Amino acid sequence: MSTSPNTGTNTASQSSILRLLLICQAEGMHSRYSELSTEDSGLTARGWEQTNILASWLATHEKIDVLICAPQLRSRLTAQRIGQAIGRPVVVQQDLPHQPRIFPSLPGGKPDAHFRFSPLHVEEQFGSNGAYADFSQRMAAVLERLIEENAGKTIAIVMDGNGVATALRHSLGAPDVSIAVNHTSISEVSWQNGRWCLMYSNRMEHMPQPVVIKAEATNDQAAGAEAKALEEELTQITRVYNRILASSVNLNDQGRDHRLRHLLRFASLPSGLRVLDVGTGNGRLALMLAEDGAREVVGIDISPAMLEVAEYLRAISDAPSAQRVNYRLASAQNLPFRSEGFDAAVCRLVLHHTHGPDALLRELVRVLRPGGSLILADLLAADDPVRRATQNTIEARRNPSHVAIYTADQYRKMVTNVGLAIDNEAVAVFERELEDWLSDYQSEPANRAVHYASLTI
Protein backbone atom coordinates (compact mmCIF):
# COMPACT_ATOMS: atom_id res chain seq x y z
CA MET A 1 0.00 0.00 0.00
CA SER A 2 1.27 3.47 -0.78
CA THR A 3 0.01 7.01 -0.34
CA SER A 4 1.24 10.36 -1.50
CA PRO A 5 4.37 11.27 0.47
CA ASN A 6 3.99 14.05 3.00
CA THR A 7 7.05 16.16 3.64
CA GLY A 8 5.80 17.17 7.06
CA THR A 9 6.19 20.87 6.20
CA ASN A 10 4.98 23.04 9.03
CA THR A 11 3.86 26.65 9.23
CA ALA A 12 5.39 27.22 12.66
CA SER A 13 8.20 29.72 12.93
CA GLN A 14 11.37 28.51 11.26
CA SER A 15 13.45 29.80 14.18
CA SER A 16 11.42 28.30 17.03
CA ILE A 17 12.14 24.85 18.42
CA LEU A 18 9.10 22.75 19.17
CA ARG A 19 9.05 19.33 20.83
CA LEU A 20 6.20 16.94 20.12
CA LEU A 21 5.90 13.99 22.52
CA LEU A 22 3.62 11.31 21.08
CA ILE A 23 2.41 9.06 23.90
CA CYS A 24 0.49 5.85 23.33
CA GLN A 25 -2.43 5.30 25.70
CA ALA A 26 -2.20 2.53 28.31
CA GLU A 27 -3.58 -0.97 27.81
CA GLY A 28 -7.34 -0.86 27.30
CA MET A 29 -9.99 -3.42 28.08
CA HIS A 30 -10.40 -4.27 24.39
CA SER A 31 -6.82 -5.55 24.34
CA ARG A 32 -7.86 -8.35 26.72
CA TYR A 33 -11.61 -8.63 26.13
CA SER A 34 -12.19 -8.59 22.39
CA GLU A 35 -15.98 -8.73 22.87
CA LEU A 36 -16.03 -5.22 24.33
CA SER A 37 -16.59 -2.08 22.31
CA THR A 38 -13.39 -0.25 21.44
CA GLU A 39 -15.03 3.15 21.59
CA ASP A 40 -15.84 3.51 25.26
CA SER A 41 -13.92 0.93 27.28
CA GLY A 42 -11.42 1.94 29.95
CA LEU A 43 -8.13 0.53 31.22
CA THR A 44 -7.17 -2.92 32.46
CA ALA A 45 -5.39 -3.44 35.78
CA ARG A 46 -2.11 -3.51 33.88
CA GLY A 47 -3.17 -0.36 32.04
CA TRP A 48 -3.65 1.51 35.33
CA GLU A 49 -0.25 0.32 36.53
CA GLN A 50 1.36 1.40 33.25
CA THR A 51 -0.27 4.81 33.52
CA ASN A 52 0.91 5.31 37.10
CA ILE A 53 4.50 4.44 36.18
CA LEU A 54 4.46 6.63 33.06
CA ALA A 55 3.00 9.62 34.93
CA SER A 56 5.61 9.38 37.68
CA TRP A 57 8.42 9.12 35.13
CA LEU A 58 7.20 12.12 33.12
CA ALA A 59 6.89 14.20 36.29
CA THR A 60 10.58 13.69 37.06
CA HIS A 61 12.05 13.59 33.53
CA GLU A 62 10.07 15.98 31.32
CA LYS A 63 8.82 19.56 31.36
CA ILE A 64 5.57 19.54 29.41
CA ASP A 65 3.91 22.84 28.53
CA VAL A 66 0.73 21.56 26.88
CA LEU A 67 -1.01 18.21 27.50
CA ILE A 68 -3.50 17.05 24.86
CA CYS A 69 -5.39 13.80 24.40
CA ALA A 70 -7.74 12.09 21.98
CA PRO A 71 -11.41 11.87 23.04
CA GLN A 72 -11.47 8.08 23.57
CA LEU A 73 -11.85 7.02 27.21
CA ARG A 74 -8.54 5.12 27.36
CA SER A 75 -6.64 8.16 26.12
CA ARG A 76 -8.46 10.46 28.54
CA LEU A 77 -7.75 8.24 31.56
CA THR A 78 -4.07 7.97 30.63
CA ALA A 79 -3.77 11.73 30.10
CA GLN A 80 -5.65 12.59 33.30
CA ARG A 81 -3.20 10.61 35.40
CA ILE A 82 -0.29 12.32 33.63
CA GLY A 83 -1.90 15.70 34.21
CA GLN A 84 -2.27 14.99 37.92
CA ALA A 85 1.41 14.07 38.17
CA ILE A 86 2.80 17.05 36.23
CA GLY A 87 0.25 19.63 37.38
CA ARG A 88 -1.13 20.41 33.92
CA PRO A 89 -4.74 20.48 32.70
CA VAL A 90 -5.74 18.05 29.97
CA VAL A 91 -7.11 19.43 26.70
CA VAL A 92 -9.36 16.87 24.99
CA GLN A 93 -8.87 17.31 21.24
CA GLN A 94 -12.19 16.15 19.85
CA ASP A 95 -11.06 16.10 16.20
CA LEU A 96 -8.05 13.82 16.69
CA PRO A 97 -8.85 10.79 14.49
CA HIS A 98 -9.08 7.32 16.00
CA GLN A 99 -8.39 3.90 14.48
CA PRO A 100 -8.59 0.91 16.88
CA ARG A 101 -5.56 -1.35 16.76
CA ILE A 102 -6.19 -4.60 14.89
CA PHE A 103 -4.37 -7.53 16.47
CA PRO A 104 -3.09 -10.47 14.41
CA SER A 105 -5.19 -13.56 15.11
CA LEU A 106 -4.55 -17.23 15.62
CA PRO A 107 -6.64 -19.86 13.78
CA GLY A 108 -9.07 -19.84 16.72
CA GLY A 109 -9.74 -16.17 16.14
CA LYS A 110 -8.18 -14.83 19.35
CA PRO A 111 -5.51 -12.11 19.31
CA ASP A 112 -2.01 -13.53 19.48
CA ALA A 113 -0.23 -11.89 22.42
CA HIS A 114 3.15 -12.67 20.85
CA PHE A 115 2.36 -10.27 17.98
CA ARG A 116 0.44 -7.75 20.04
CA PHE A 117 3.17 -5.14 19.75
CA SER A 118 4.55 -6.08 16.36
CA PRO A 119 5.01 -3.10 14.00
CA LEU A 120 1.79 -1.47 12.87
CA HIS A 121 1.46 -2.08 9.13
CA VAL A 122 -0.71 0.35 7.17
CA GLU A 123 -2.31 -2.44 5.11
CA GLU A 124 -3.24 -4.47 8.18
CA GLN A 125 -4.56 -1.58 10.26
CA PHE A 126 -6.51 0.40 7.65
CA GLY A 127 -7.34 -2.08 4.89
CA SER A 128 -7.28 0.36 1.96
CA ASN A 129 -5.34 3.29 0.52
CA GLY A 130 -8.37 5.52 0.77
CA ALA A 131 -9.05 4.80 4.44
CA TYR A 132 -5.47 5.51 5.46
CA ALA A 133 -5.19 8.60 3.25
CA ASP A 134 -8.30 10.08 4.88
CA PHE A 135 -7.05 9.23 8.38
CA SER A 136 -3.60 10.68 7.63
CA GLN A 137 -5.00 13.91 6.23
CA ARG A 138 -7.21 14.46 9.27
CA MET A 139 -4.27 13.74 11.59
CA ALA A 140 -2.03 16.15 9.64
CA ALA A 141 -4.60 18.94 9.84
CA VAL A 142 -4.91 18.61 13.61
CA LEU A 143 -1.15 18.45 14.14
CA GLU A 144 -0.45 21.47 11.95
CA ARG A 145 -2.98 23.55 13.87
CA LEU A 146 -1.70 22.43 17.28
CA ILE A 147 1.88 23.14 16.32
CA GLU A 148 1.05 26.59 14.97
CA GLU A 149 -0.82 27.46 18.17
CA ASN A 150 1.98 26.23 20.45
CA ALA A 151 5.18 27.22 18.67
CA GLY A 152 8.27 26.92 20.85
CA LYS A 153 6.61 24.69 23.45
CA THR A 154 6.77 21.05 24.45
CA ILE A 155 3.48 19.40 23.51
CA ALA A 156 2.48 15.95 24.74
CA ILE A 157 -0.32 14.18 22.85
CA VAL A 158 -1.88 10.99 24.24
CA MET A 159 -3.65 8.81 21.67
CA ASP A 160 -3.87 5.26 20.37
CA GLY A 161 -1.07 3.36 18.64
CA ASN A 162 -2.31 4.00 15.12
CA GLY A 163 -2.53 7.70 15.89
CA VAL A 164 1.06 7.79 17.13
CA ALA A 165 2.32 5.81 14.13
CA THR A 166 0.45 8.04 11.66
CA ALA A 167 1.75 11.22 13.31
CA LEU A 168 5.30 9.87 13.02
CA ARG A 169 4.81 8.94 9.35
CA HIS A 170 3.42 12.40 8.62
CA SER A 171 6.29 14.18 10.34
CA LEU A 172 8.91 12.06 8.58
CA GLY A 173 7.26 12.08 5.17
CA ALA A 174 7.30 8.26 5.17
CA PRO A 175 3.71 7.10 4.62
CA ASP A 176 4.50 3.41 4.07
CA VAL A 177 6.83 2.68 6.98
CA SER A 178 5.68 0.18 9.64
CA ILE A 179 6.16 1.45 13.20
CA ALA A 180 6.05 -0.41 16.53
CA VAL A 181 4.08 1.41 19.23
CA ASN A 182 3.77 -0.16 22.71
CA HIS A 183 1.29 0.90 25.36
CA THR A 184 2.52 4.05 27.18
CA SER A 185 5.54 4.29 24.88
CA ILE A 186 6.89 7.76 24.11
CA SER A 187 8.06 8.96 20.69
CA GLU A 188 9.50 12.41 20.05
CA VAL A 189 9.84 14.55 16.97
CA SER A 190 11.33 18.03 17.12
CA TRP A 191 10.79 20.97 14.77
CA GLN A 192 14.21 22.59 14.27
CA ASN A 193 15.56 24.85 11.53
CA GLY A 194 12.49 24.42 9.36
CA ARG A 195 12.37 20.63 9.39
CA TRP A 196 11.27 17.70 11.51
CA CYS A 197 13.85 15.63 13.37
CA LEU A 198 13.10 12.20 14.82
CA MET A 199 14.59 12.13 18.32
CA TYR A 200 13.41 8.64 19.33
CA SER A 201 10.54 6.20 18.81
CA ASN A 202 8.69 3.74 21.08
CA ARG A 203 10.73 4.69 24.15
CA MET A 204 9.94 2.43 27.13
CA GLU A 205 12.66 3.16 29.67
CA HIS A 206 10.06 4.10 32.27
CA MET A 207 8.63 0.57 32.35
CA PRO A 208 11.33 -1.99 33.37
CA GLN A 209 11.52 -0.89 36.99
CA PRO A 210 8.28 0.63 38.32
CA VAL A 211 8.74 4.04 39.84
CA VAL A 212 7.39 4.25 43.38
CA ILE A 213 6.25 7.71 44.40
CA LYS A 214 8.06 8.62 47.61
CA ALA A 215 7.30 11.41 50.03
CA GLU A 216 9.33 14.54 49.30
CA ALA A 217 12.34 15.15 51.50
CA THR A 218 11.41 17.18 54.56
CA ASN A 219 12.96 18.32 57.79
CA ASP A 220 9.75 17.41 59.55
CA GLN A 221 10.43 13.82 60.59
CA ALA A 222 6.89 13.35 61.85
CA ALA A 223 5.45 14.32 58.46
CA GLY A 224 7.87 11.98 56.72
CA ALA A 225 6.92 9.10 58.99
CA GLU A 226 3.23 9.82 58.43
CA ALA A 227 3.67 9.78 54.65
CA LYS A 228 5.58 6.50 54.83
CA ALA A 229 2.90 4.95 57.03
CA LEU A 230 0.19 6.02 54.57
CA GLU A 231 2.15 4.55 51.66
CA GLU A 232 2.53 1.24 53.50
CA GLU A 233 -1.17 1.29 54.39
CA LEU A 234 -2.23 1.79 50.77
CA THR A 235 0.20 -0.88 49.58
CA GLN A 236 -1.30 -3.40 51.99
CA ILE A 237 -4.86 -2.58 50.92
CA THR A 238 -3.92 -2.88 47.24
CA ARG A 239 -2.22 -6.22 47.85
CA VAL A 240 -5.30 -7.64 49.60
CA TYR A 241 -7.82 -6.55 46.98
CA ASN A 242 -5.64 -7.49 44.01
CA ARG A 243 -5.36 -10.96 45.58
CA ILE A 244 -9.13 -11.28 45.78
CA LEU A 245 -9.41 -10.73 42.04
CA ALA A 246 -6.50 -13.07 41.31
CA SER A 247 -8.45 -15.86 43.02
CA SER A 248 -12.11 -15.38 42.25
CA VAL A 249 -14.89 -12.86 42.54
CA ASN A 250 -18.62 -13.45 42.60
CA LEU A 251 -20.11 -10.94 40.19
CA ASN A 252 -23.66 -12.12 40.93
CA ASP A 253 -23.62 -11.87 44.72
CA GLN A 254 -27.29 -11.31 45.56
CA GLY A 255 -26.48 -10.83 49.22
CA ARG A 256 -24.10 -7.98 48.41
CA ASP A 257 -26.62 -6.41 46.04
CA HIS A 258 -29.23 -6.58 48.83
CA ARG A 259 -26.88 -4.73 51.19
CA LEU A 260 -26.14 -2.11 48.53
CA ARG A 261 -29.84 -1.57 47.86
CA HIS A 262 -30.42 -1.12 51.57
CA LEU A 263 -27.71 1.57 51.63
CA LEU A 264 -29.22 3.37 48.63
CA ARG A 265 -32.66 3.41 50.26
CA PHE A 266 -31.10 4.90 53.37
CA ALA A 267 -29.21 7.53 51.35
CA SER A 268 -32.28 8.58 49.31
CA LEU A 269 -30.16 10.75 47.03
CA PRO A 270 -32.14 12.87 44.58
CA SER A 271 -31.56 12.36 40.86
CA GLY A 272 -29.31 14.60 38.79
CA LEU A 273 -26.34 14.64 41.18
CA ARG A 274 -22.65 14.21 40.45
CA VAL A 275 -21.62 11.47 42.89
CA LEU A 276 -18.22 10.21 44.06
CA ASP A 277 -18.09 6.50 45.00
CA VAL A 278 -15.11 6.07 47.34
CA GLY A 279 -13.56 2.59 47.36
CA THR A 280 -15.71 1.53 44.41
CA GLY A 281 -14.31 -2.03 44.31
CA ASN A 282 -16.02 -3.95 41.51
CA GLY A 283 -18.13 -0.89 40.68
CA ARG A 284 -21.50 -2.43 41.49
CA LEU A 285 -22.55 0.44 43.76
CA ALA A 286 -21.45 3.01 41.17
CA LEU A 287 -23.65 1.35 38.54
CA MET A 288 -26.58 1.27 40.97
CA LEU A 289 -26.14 4.96 41.77
CA ALA A 290 -26.34 5.75 38.06
CA GLU A 291 -29.39 3.50 37.65
CA ASP A 292 -31.06 5.44 40.47
CA GLY A 293 -30.66 8.71 38.57
CA ALA A 294 -27.21 10.17 39.28
CA ARG A 295 -26.12 12.51 36.49
CA GLU A 296 -22.54 11.23 36.73
CA VAL A 297 -20.80 8.75 39.02
CA VAL A 298 -17.03 8.68 39.47
CA GLY A 299 -15.73 5.59 41.24
CA ILE A 300 -12.25 5.59 42.76
CA ASP A 301 -10.17 2.71 44.06
CA ILE A 302 -6.48 1.99 44.68
CA SER A 303 -6.67 -1.59 43.38
CA PRO A 304 -5.99 -1.82 39.61
CA ALA A 305 -7.43 -5.35 39.59
CA MET A 306 -10.69 -4.17 41.15
CA LEU A 307 -10.93 -1.35 38.62
CA GLU A 308 -10.51 -3.80 35.75
CA VAL A 309 -13.51 -5.81 36.98
CA ALA A 310 -15.49 -2.60 37.50
CA GLU A 311 -14.71 -1.43 33.98
CA TYR A 312 -15.63 -4.82 32.52
CA LEU A 313 -19.01 -4.78 34.28
CA ARG A 314 -19.63 -1.24 33.07
CA ALA A 315 -18.64 -2.09 29.50
CA ILE A 316 -20.90 -5.16 29.22
CA SER A 317 -23.88 -3.49 30.86
CA ASP A 318 -26.92 -2.95 28.65
CA ALA A 319 -28.20 -0.16 30.89
CA PRO A 320 -27.85 3.30 29.28
CA SER A 321 -27.05 4.64 32.75
CA ALA A 322 -23.71 2.75 32.70
CA GLN A 323 -22.42 5.37 30.27
CA ARG A 324 -22.64 7.91 33.08
CA VAL A 325 -20.12 5.95 35.19
CA ASN A 326 -16.35 6.22 35.00
CA TYR A 327 -13.46 5.12 37.20
CA ARG A 328 -10.15 6.50 38.44
CA LEU A 329 -7.14 4.95 40.13
CA ALA A 330 -6.83 7.14 43.22
CA SER A 331 -6.68 7.04 47.00
CA ALA A 332 -9.33 8.68 49.15
CA GLN A 333 -6.61 10.50 51.09
CA ASN A 334 -5.43 12.37 47.98
CA LEU A 335 -8.30 12.83 45.56
CA PRO A 336 -7.38 14.04 42.04
CA PHE A 337 -10.39 16.36 41.80
CA ARG A 338 -10.94 20.07 42.22
CA SER A 339 -12.60 21.36 45.36
CA GLU A 340 -16.41 21.47 45.51
CA GLY A 341 -16.78 19.32 42.40
CA PHE A 342 -19.30 16.75 43.69
CA ASP A 343 -22.86 16.97 44.97
CA ALA A 344 -22.55 13.80 47.04
CA ALA A 345 -20.00 11.19 48.09
CA VAL A 346 -20.59 7.61 49.20
CA CYS A 347 -17.87 6.11 51.39
CA ARG A 348 -18.65 2.45 52.08
CA LEU A 349 -16.35 0.11 54.05
CA VAL A 350 -13.31 2.36 53.65
CA LEU A 351 -12.66 4.05 57.01
CA HIS A 352 -11.73 0.84 58.81
CA HIS A 353 -8.76 0.46 56.43
CA THR A 354 -7.03 3.70 57.41
CA HIS A 355 -4.98 4.97 60.35
CA GLY A 356 -6.09 8.52 59.55
CA PRO A 357 -9.89 8.59 59.17
CA ASP A 358 -10.05 12.29 60.07
CA ALA A 359 -7.72 13.25 57.19
CA LEU A 360 -9.71 11.07 54.80
CA LEU A 361 -12.98 12.71 55.81
CA ARG A 362 -11.48 16.19 55.42
CA GLU A 363 -10.49 15.29 51.86
CA LEU A 364 -14.03 14.16 51.10
CA VAL A 365 -15.41 17.40 52.54
CA ARG A 366 -13.02 19.33 50.29
CA VAL A 367 -14.48 17.89 47.08
CA LEU A 368 -18.12 18.31 48.17
CA ARG A 369 -19.95 21.46 47.18
CA PRO A 370 -21.50 23.55 49.99
CA GLY A 371 -24.62 21.72 51.10
CA GLY A 372 -23.40 18.45 49.60
CA SER A 373 -24.06 15.05 51.17
CA LEU A 374 -21.68 12.42 52.51
CA ILE A 375 -23.09 8.91 52.91
CA LEU A 376 -20.87 6.99 55.30
CA ALA A 377 -21.28 3.23 55.85
CA ASP A 378 -18.79 1.08 57.72
CA LEU A 379 -18.32 -1.67 60.27
CA LEU A 380 -19.71 -0.86 63.72
CA ALA A 381 -17.75 -1.68 66.87
CA ALA A 382 -19.19 -2.68 70.22
CA ASP A 383 -19.16 -0.07 72.99
CA ASP A 384 -17.53 -2.54 75.35
CA PRO A 385 -13.71 -2.25 74.95
CA VAL A 386 -13.11 -5.99 75.34
CA ARG A 387 -15.66 -6.93 72.72
CA ARG A 388 -14.33 -4.19 70.45
CA ALA A 389 -10.78 -5.54 70.76
CA THR A 390 -12.07 -9.01 69.89
CA GLN A 391 -13.86 -7.65 66.83
CA ASN A 392 -10.71 -5.92 65.63
CA THR A 393 -8.63 -9.06 66.16
CA ILE A 394 -11.05 -11.21 64.16
CA GLU A 395 -11.33 -8.67 61.35
CA ALA A 396 -7.55 -8.23 61.12
CA ARG A 397 -7.07 -11.99 60.75
CA ARG A 398 -9.78 -12.14 58.10
CA ASN A 399 -8.56 -9.06 56.21
CA PRO A 400 -4.88 -8.04 56.64
CA SER A 401 -5.60 -4.49 55.44
CA HIS A 402 -7.97 -3.87 58.37
CA VAL A 403 -6.89 -1.18 60.85
CA ALA A 404 -9.75 -0.47 63.26
CA ILE A 405 -13.51 -0.30 63.55
CA TYR A 406 -15.24 2.41 65.55
CA THR A 407 -18.24 2.86 67.80
CA ALA A 408 -21.24 4.96 66.84
CA ASP A 409 -20.05 7.76 69.14
CA GLN A 410 -16.59 7.70 67.55
CA TYR A 411 -18.10 8.00 64.06
CA ARG A 412 -20.26 10.91 65.21
CA LYS A 413 -17.23 12.71 66.61
CA MET A 414 -15.25 12.14 63.40
CA VAL A 415 -17.86 13.67 61.11
CA THR A 416 -18.65 16.64 63.36
CA ASN A 417 -14.93 17.38 63.76
CA VAL A 418 -14.64 17.99 60.01
CA GLY A 419 -17.61 20.35 59.98
CA LEU A 420 -20.40 17.99 58.94
CA ALA A 421 -23.88 17.93 60.44
CA ILE A 422 -25.59 14.55 60.86
CA ASP A 423 -28.95 14.44 59.07
CA ASN A 424 -29.75 10.78 59.64
CA GLU A 425 -28.19 7.60 60.97
CA ALA A 426 -29.15 3.95 61.22
CA VAL A 427 -27.72 0.54 62.08
CA ALA A 428 -28.36 -2.49 59.89
CA VAL A 429 -27.47 -6.09 60.70
CA PHE A 430 -27.00 -8.60 57.88
CA GLU A 431 -26.64 -12.28 58.65
CA ARG A 432 -24.10 -14.23 56.59
CA GLU A 433 -22.69 -17.74 56.55
CA LEU A 434 -19.48 -17.65 58.58
CA GLU A 435 -17.36 -19.45 55.97
CA ASP A 436 -18.53 -17.10 53.21
CA TRP A 437 -17.72 -14.11 55.38
CA LEU A 438 -14.25 -15.43 56.18
CA SER A 439 -13.49 -16.27 52.55
CA ASP A 440 -14.31 -12.79 51.22
CA TYR A 441 -10.66 -11.72 51.39
CA GLN A 442 -9.09 -15.10 50.55
CA SER A 443 -7.71 -15.29 54.09
CA GLU A 444 -5.44 -18.13 55.11
CA PRO A 445 -7.31 -21.22 56.39
CA ALA A 446 -5.59 -20.89 59.78
CA ASN A 447 -7.06 -17.42 60.16
CA ARG A 448 -10.60 -18.76 59.76
CA ALA A 449 -10.58 -20.48 63.15
CA VAL A 450 -12.79 -17.88 64.82
CA HIS A 451 -15.87 -18.60 66.86
CA TYR A 452 -18.32 -15.83 66.05
CA ALA A 453 -18.71 -12.67 63.97
CA SER A 454 -21.39 -10.06 63.43
CA LEU A 455 -21.21 -7.60 60.55
CA THR A 456 -23.04 -4.29 60.63
CA ILE A 457 -22.98 -1.21 58.47
d(CA 331, CA 328): 9
The structural domains of the chain, with segments of one domain joined by +, span 18-203, 228-456
Considering only CA atoms, which of 449, 387, 457 is closest in space to residue 425? 457
Give me the CATH code for the 228-456 domain, please. Answer: 3.40.50.150
Task: Please tell me the predicted confidence (pLDDT) of residue 393.
Answer: 78
Buried b (16+ CB within 10 A) or exposed e, 33-62: beebebeebbbbbbbbbbbbbbbbbbbeee
pLDDT for the residue numbered 451: 31
Beta strands in 51-106 (DSSP E): 66-69, 90-92
pLDDT at residue number 247: 42
Residue 436, pLDDT > 60, answer no
Q: What percent of the chain has pLDDT over 90?
A: 46
| Tens of pLDDT, residues 106-134 | 444 444 444 445 566 666 667 677 888 88
18-203 and 228-456: same fold?
yes
Neighbours of 414 (CB within 10 A): 17
Average pLDDT, the chain: 80
Read off the pLDDT of residues 142-154 as tens digits, 9 standing for 90 and up.
Answer: 988 888 888 889 9
pLDDT in tens, 374-413: 999 988 888 888 888 887 777 777 777 778 889 999 999 9
**Tell me: the pLDDT tens digits for 70-85?**
999 999 999 999 999 9
Q: What is the pLDDT of residue 203?
A: 93
Coil, helix or strand for 371?
strand
pLDDT band at residue 367, thresholds of 50, 70 and 90?
very high
Is residue 432 scored above 60 in pLDDT?
Answer: no
CATH fold of the domain at 18-203: Rossmann fold (3.40.50)
Distance CA 364, CA 298 (A): 13
Residue 320: pLDDT band with limits 50, 70, 90: very high
Residue 57 — pLDDT band, cuts 50, 70, 90? Answer: very high
